[in-house]
Chains A and B, each alone.
Chain A
């Protein structure tokens, strides 16, 4: 019987190189995107991640139009588009009365429309499907190298800016009163969001790469009150989602990207209900209390 379970859980990864690559890519993304997602969520910018995911589309599409399904041009294109939208939206919100949610929405909507128009100029809806939903099972060596670079950069940057990021989330006015890092750290952080989305869209596509960022983080929020623990938990949830999503995709012949995000969604649903800070435990009538 154990052999059966072993076959089910491990054999696909032992047997097929494409599954090994997919697993490696998804695991690296979990280590990188999930902690970024924690800070995105704590800054109440979860939807900004979604907006940025749309924003990189025209850049990726431009690379695709000019060079076909090639990693480097699509990545560079996505990077440029993401940075333009992040800087543009950030600048409008810092220099004018408009808040960042509105400027971000404006920039990403324009960006998304440009992207779809560009993809449609070239050809089929299959191409569009690839850009939007990725192909984790077709990750090649270059794509894995890119993801590894992004993961390394992200973890190092988070380690360096951790204190400033927490201060900026917790009390932005305080950080401004003691340091000039407030604005730069915001843009460094947006940069991390962009590179993680760009790394993720090879595997998961522009729409789903934000899922691996936000869902594990959102799930982790229901289990702990500590930022560090939350990051570790989010990574763990990302890892579990990646493995179970790939297995689900393999055994049930489902598209791999959505399968990974669905697994993360399931973990989120369980956390909402059963987490230590979730619905059940916080709504249960208390039968006892302390004296002070």
Chain B
């Protein structure tokens, strides 16, 4: 008995008719800790945006199981760090799903914010203006907000960029804690050693799914080389993607190794071809 959290079905995402993620099929089971890996421009952030619902698919669909509470930490935040807010106010934004527009913040909410700040090592920073935080402290504060959000599905887009090793270690501990609590966590990561060490499962993207499965197997030298060959293939005058390409895609999907889920991936694609 499986509980799909996210289902991709022949999902194609992109901008101006050029795909950034091409024909992705698969299921992310509830409770999965998945690393999304790939070079710059391989479609990782695009995929995250589609899962949150901020980007409409060009083809196929991406469904998140109904009632799932999502927390999303984008790579390029539009957060205004010059805004006159204190750390506790930034973290308390995470109460939105619980309290909404009008719900009064209760004493236990304040306690929750305090606990979250403690968990990320920012106790005592409650009243600090956010424009005085360092990059690492700021990232910790954003993780505290995710903690407060208490989400079922957590999407982190390159959360370790420009973050020192101590902070990375602390934040990874939090991610493992979320995984342990049965939450579904997708993390875009560039540090392949970190992926092999921490993540049970990885999806390697190169504007199309290269491989999806056990992290150590997925990140083999051979797969990484394949990903690099696919990469940077943007062509202004690229031909339109025709249905017969599906045959080729089915063959490619059949390569997807990994856990039990990939059987269903292949099955789905073959049905699509038939």
Contacts and interface: CB of A to CB of B under 8 A. Distances in A.
Interface of A: 42, 160-161, 163-164, 166-167, 169-179, 181, 221, 224-227, 230
A227 B93 contact: no
A171 B130 CA distance: 12
Contacts of A176: 54
Contacts of B97: 178
B239 interface: no
B33 to A, nearest CB: 20
B61 interface: no
A185 to B, nearest CB: 9
A186 B7 CA distance: 32
Contacts of B74: 173
Contacts, number: 64
Contact of A169 (B70, B71, B83, B86): B83
A16 B262 CA distance: 84
Interface of B: 52, 54, 70-72, 74, 77-80, 83-86, 89-90, 93, 96-97, 100-102, 129, 145, 149
Contact of A227 (B52, B77, B78, B84): B84
A230 B80 CA distance: 17
Contacts of A224: 84
A170 B85 contact: yes
A179 B96 contact: yes
A145 to B, nearest CB: 29
Contacts of A225: 84, 86, 129
Contacts of B54: 173, 176-177
Given A170-B83, A177-B72, A224-B84, 7 more contacts: A42-B84, A170-B79, A171-B93, A173-B74, A174-B79, A177-B71, A225-B86
A164 B101 contact: yes
B52 A163 contact: no
Given A160-B102, A181-B101, A173 B78 contact: yes
14 contacts: A42-B84, A161-B101, A163-B96, A163-B102, A170-B90, A172-B78, A176-B54, A177-B70, A178-B70, A179-B96, A179-B100, A179-B101, A221-B84, A226-B84
